[in-house]
A = this chain, B = another copy of it.
């Protein structure tokens, strides 16, 4: 989807769409390889796996034997500090890739937010495929780049935005992700605590800020797993520090 590139400038979109099927212009010049798309090439070495809600898909420090793509459901990537503090790095939705590591071990923990179906690619096969096929290699590089881009925006959010700005940025990222318009409802597969751990806040601050946005008629909250956006333009102003 186009927005991934365009949204770069103004809005700090925290959600990362790792590894979407983005057009990869670079391989166009080669022309020598048989005309096959790199996603099909990946298909050939993937297998399906299921995880129940709250199951751990892999833990930080585990051998990074697999690379994943979400088919359905949602996943969170997080880091745990020694004393139990938790920071969520990313939420993954269908078609997002995750678990690609340069090092031998995972640098994050992946957990199922909901029951989830994933495609799993063995790392050794992926590496071999990458060596053989330049487009696959570049597609992996693109996934890495998108993750880095998302992490850098996340850093700005946590370092320099207020609680309200962070929550609004988070909502706007979901809006962009699904192409929502005023009046549309957003699905929130994650809990308030997950949102808090993503935004570097407490659950109470997240709740209070949601209530505040509701009182101000920017959003509605029909139930705990949905938010209806009422005034996206006003939200954009808030995210950019206009209020």
Contacts and interface: CB of A to CB of B under 8 A. Distances in A.
Nearest to A85: B160
A192 interface: no
B159 A148 contact: no
Interface string A193-222: 000010110000000000000000000000
Q: Please tell me how many copies of the chain the complex holds.
A: 2
Contacts of A200: 158-160
A155 B158 contact: yes
A186 to B, nearest CB: 22
A164 to B, nearest CB: 14
Given A82-B241, A160-B200, A152 B102 contact: no
Interface string A108-152: 100000000000000000010001001001001110111111011
A234 interface: no
B152 A152 contact: no
Contact of A9 (B5, B61, B87, B127): B61
A30 interface: yes
Contacts of A154: 151, 155
29 contacts: A5-B103, A8-B103, A8-B107, A26-B131, A30-B131, A81-B156, A81-B160, A81-B241, A82-B241, A83-B240, A83-B241, A85-B160, A86-B160, A87-B159, A87-B160, A101-B145, A102-B145, A102-B149, A103-B145, A107-B149, A108-B152, A131-B134, A144-B144, A144-B145, A147-B148, A151-B154, A158-B158, A159-B200, A160-B200
Closest 4 CB pairs of A and B: A159-B200, A102-B145, A151-B151, A158-B158
